[in-house]
C-alpha cells in the first residue's frame, strides 16, 4: 500500500451535465446538456487531434474513459503512451496534472475510490484515505488482456472484462486492501484480442445487472449479467444499430446514451429520443 495526496480543483458537475470528447480529441464539460437550457461548454483538456496524420512515433494519446469529478477535479484516463496508459486529473479549464497509470479508469458508486487496469496490474486509489493498492497481473501463464472495469452497484467488488487465449470473461475482485480475485466467468464470444468487434461495460441495469456492450459487424448489443453470479440473463438484452459506440446506461438503468458515427443521441426513461449534434467520439454522464 502506498500513500498519495488527492488533487483538488474548482470544477463542479451536476445532474444533467455531460463529459464529451469532441472529434478533435479535446475533452469538454457540457453543463446542463440534458436539461432544457444548457450552459456554455467548458474545455477541460486540450489533446492532440487524432484526425491529423502522424509522421513520427505512435500518434497522440486519446481519452478513453472519464471516471468523474471528486473534490473539484475530473479524473480521466488516456491511452496509450506509455504502454500502461495515463491517469490524470483536470482541476480547472485546460489545467491538468498527472495522477497515476492505467486504463479503463472508473469511480466507485460512493465516489471515494478510483480503479484502473492494464496488462501489468490492477490499481485502486482510496481518495478519502489517500492510500492506494496494487495487484500484479500476468505473473503466470496464461496471460490475460484487461479490457474494461466496472464497480458492482454496492461498491463491494470490481469486475474486470478481459480477453485471453480462450476468449472473453468476467473476473470479480473484492475491494479489500488485497484486491482478491474470485472465479472468472467465461462469456459466449469468439474474437481475438485487439480485433473487432469491440466490447466495453455500459453500466448497470435497473436491478444492478452488469451491462456489457458488444460492438459487432451487424449490430451493437447490450447484454446483461447477474450482479452476483455474473451469469448472463438471456431474456434481457438491448440492440442498437451497427456503428454505434460509447454506449452508457443512465443511473436508473433505463436511459441510454450513445454515439452513432459521431452523432450523439439520448433515449430517456420515457422513450423520448434526443439528438445532440455531430462531431463527438466519446460521451459520459457527468453525475
Q: What CATH number should be reported for the domain holding residue 79? A: 2.130.10.10
- Please report, in tens digits, the pLDDT of each residue of the chain (287 residues total): 789 899 999 999 999 999 999 999 999 999 999 998 899 999 999 998 888 877 766 667 889 999 999 999 999 999 876 667 899 999 999 999 999 999 999 999 999 999 999 888 999 999 999 999 999 987 666 788 899 999 999 999 999 999 888 889 999 999 987 899 999 999 987 644 344 458 999 999 999 999 999 887 777 899 999 999 999 998 889 999 888 999 999 999 999 999 999 999 999 999 999 999 999 999 999 99
Strand partners, 22: 280
Distance CA 117, CA 138 (A): 12
Is 126 a domain residue? yes
Is 216 a domain residue? no
Task: Give the domain extent around 131.
Answer: 2-190+277-285
The per-residue pLDDT for 57 is 62
The per-residue pLDDT for 97 is 95
Cell of 238: 438491448
The count of domains in the chain is: 1
The per-residue pLDDT for 194 is 40
Is 170 a domain residue? yes
8 A C-beta contact, residue 15 and residue 2? no
The per-residue pLDDT for 282 is 95
Burial category of 202 from C-beta neighbours within 10 Å (exposed 0-12, middle 13-18, buried 19 and up): buried
Is 144 a domain residue? yes
What's the angle, vertex CA 285, arms to CA 284 and CA 287, rounded to 5?
140
The per-residue pLDDT for 83 is 66
Is 75 a domain residue? yes
Cell of 136: 500484479
Residue 187 contacts by C-beta under 8 Å, 6 or more apart in sequence? Answer: 167, 168, 169, 170, 212, 232
8 A C-beta contact, residue 160 and residue 122? yes
Is 235 a domain residue? no
Is 254 a domain residue? no
Distance CA 60, CA 281 (A): 15
Is 256 a domain residue? no
What pTM does this model have?
0.93
Amino acid at each position: 500500500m502506498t500513500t498519495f495526496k488527492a488533487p483538488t480543483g474548482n470544477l463542479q458537475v451536476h445532474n444533467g451535465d455531460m463529459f464529451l470528447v469532441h472529434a478533435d480529441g479535446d475533452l469538454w464539460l457540457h453543463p446542463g446538456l440534458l436539461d432544457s437550457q444548457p450552459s456554455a461548454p467548458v474545455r477541460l483538456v486540450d489533446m492532440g487531434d487524432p484526425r491529423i496524420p502522424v509522421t513520427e512515433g505512435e500518434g497522440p494519446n486519446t481519452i478513453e474513459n472519464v471516471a468523474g469529478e471528486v473534490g473539484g477535479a475530473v479524473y480521466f484516463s488516456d491511452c496509450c503512451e506509455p504502454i500502461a496508459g495515463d491517469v490524470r486529473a483536470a482541476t480547472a479549464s485546460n489545467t491538468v496534472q498527472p495522477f497515476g497509470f492505467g486504463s479503463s479508469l472508473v469511480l466507485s458508486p460512493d465516489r471515494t475510490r478510483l480503479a484502473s487496469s492494464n496488462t501489468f496490474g490492477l490499481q485502486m486509489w482510496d481518495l478519502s484515505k489517500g492510500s492506494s493498492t496494487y495487484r500484479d497481473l500476468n505473473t503466470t501463464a496464461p496471460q490475460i488482456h484487461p479490457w474494461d472495469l466496472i464497480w458492482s452497484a454496492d461498491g463491494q467488488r470490481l469486475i474486470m472484462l478481459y480477453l485471453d487465449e480462450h476468449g472473453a470473461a468476467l473476473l470479480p475482485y473484492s475491494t479489500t486492501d488485497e484486491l482478491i480475485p474470485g472465479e472468472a466467468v467465461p462469456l459466449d464470444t469468439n474474437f481475438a484480442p485487439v480485433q473487432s468487434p469491440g466490447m466495453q461495460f455500459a453500466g448497470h441495469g435497473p436491478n444492478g445487472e452488469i451491462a456489457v456492450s458488444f460492438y459487432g459487424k451487424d449490430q451493437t448489443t447490450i447484454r446483461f449479467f447477474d450482479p452476483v453470479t455474473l451469469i448472463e440473463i438471456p431474456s434481457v438484452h438491448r440492440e442498437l444499430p451497427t456503428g454505434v459506440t460509447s454506449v452508457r446506461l443512465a443511473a436508473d438503468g433505463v436511459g441510454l446514451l450513445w454515439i452513432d458515427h459521431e452523432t450523439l443521441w439520448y433515449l430517456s426513461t420515457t422513450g423520448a429520443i434526443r439528438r445532440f449534434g455531430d462531431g463527438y467520439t466519446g460521451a459520459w454522464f457527468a453525475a
